[in-house]
Amino acid sequence: MKSIMIKCQLVILAAAVCLFFFQTNSYASQKRIKIHGAVEEPLNLTLKEIQAMSEFHINAVSILKEKQNKADKEKLIEVADYGGVLLRDILEKAGMKYKRKWEPAVFIRVKGIKDEEVIFSFGEIFYSSIGRSTLLTYRKDGKLIGSSNGCPGLIVSNDIRNGRRIKAVTEIIVERVDIKMKVYEERKKNILQPSTSYLELIDKKSGNTQKVTFEDLTGLPELQIHDKVQIGDCEGFHGVYSYEGVTLRSFLEKQQFVSQPYFYDRYVAVHSENGFCATFSIGELFNSKLGNNIVMAYKKDGKMLAPDEGFLMMVAGEDNTGGRSVKRISNIIIF
């Protein structure tokens, strides 16, 4: 009796396994990529539909091996020409749900086979030139690339090493950091929070928390951003300023909150007391040719910041809009 039951169970199990493979295979043969989350219209595009979009080329993309340790030797994997569709263009096709001051806190998860995931910040894709360097690729050196599923690959030509390269991209998810944005309601009520002389640094995974004051920045190399155009879609043109500060990267390293190997499925959210928030991906901070570009500034035009700017404010030097220049930084959270 017992053995019959076991046999029955085995037959059912085998049938379930067959059904599972049949389903995943038929799904795979369609090679689809799903775009969903905080978008206006979720999409489920076939590779053919992606190939029908306007093709973008990035030539001579050099790919270095990701390092596990600072001491690891640099290894060049290849230099190749790529064709595909910009991640930005696919996101625009779906339409971004969050607008205006809600927008800089958005981030994008890109998933490949084997549960690989990399994160991009809204700002790097839509405000900085990384958006023109991030490609869902299906063509290499002029020839179509084969793929087991989804779109054959993701490349970021502005990245230095290959940590954010994934294969068989099947899913893109748009999300916003879960931090309440109170700016508009506080403005209506004419509330102006006093700025603090410290900020809180939090690692959400380890629970590690540090209170950081101006003194904690001593010893970090000072960086200048010349001619930062201060302009915003909702705030207008405010002028061109120079800033002095330290890079967010060197700060996070010094506080020992981020070190190699880098986890590109993580990101940093910087916000002020009123919940105004911007995201920065680990990739753009630690693996980008624009790595020296994201600065926590304490001086503007040679003078310490004004009270409404706090003791520190973010300056993303290359961004074409002021959306990520968080003033009065009160929290830096690594998700």
Ligand X SMILES: Nc1nc2c(c(=O)[nH]1)N[C@H]1C(S)=C(S)[C@@H](COP(=O)(O)O)O[C@H]1N2
Sites of contact with ligand X (CB under 6 A): 101, 183, 230, 232, 234-235, 238, 272, 274, 276, 322-323, 325-328
Round to whole Å and give the CA distance between 53 and 39: 19
* Binding residues with Mo ion: total (CB under 5 A): 4
CB 332, min distance to ligand X, A: 13
Which of ligand X, Mo ion, none lies near 276, with the C-beta cut-off 5 to 8 A by kind? ligand X
Q: How far is the CB of 252 from ligand X (least distance, A)?
A: 20
Is 283 or 323 the residue whose CB approaches Mo ion more closely? 323
Query: Are 295 and 248 in contact, with CB atoms under 8 Å apart?
Result: yes
Closer CB to ligand X, 230 or 255, in the complex: 230
Q: Which stretch binds Mo ion (CB under 5 A): 11-19, 53-61, 307-315, 317-325?
A: 317-325
Taking the complex as a whole, the smallest distance from the CB of residue 37 to Mo ion amounts, in Å, to: 22
What backbone phi and psi angles, to 5 degrees, belong to 93? -65, -40
Mask of contacts with Mo ion, 220-249, x by CB under 5 A?
A: ------------x-xx--------------
Comparison of 165 and 328: residue with beta carbon closer to ligand X: 328
Give 225-257 as a DSSP string: EEEEEEEETTTEEEEEEEEEEEEHHHHHHHTTS
- State both tokens at 149: 């599923």
The span from the CA of 164 to the CA of 96, in Å, is 22
The token duo for 30 is 């369609």
When the beta carbons of 152 and 323 are compared against ligand X, the nearer one is 323
How many Å separate Cα 113 from the centre of its chain?
19
Give the residue with the Cβ less far from Mo ion, 167 or 232: 232
Residue 328 touches which member of Mo ion, ligand X, none, C-beta under 5-8 Å by kind? ligand X
241 φ, ψ (degrees, to nearest 5): -130, 160
Using alpha carbons, list the distances in angstroms from residue 91 to 41, 70, 145, 259.
10, 34, 22, 30
Binding region for Mo ion (CB under 5 A): 232, 234-235, 323
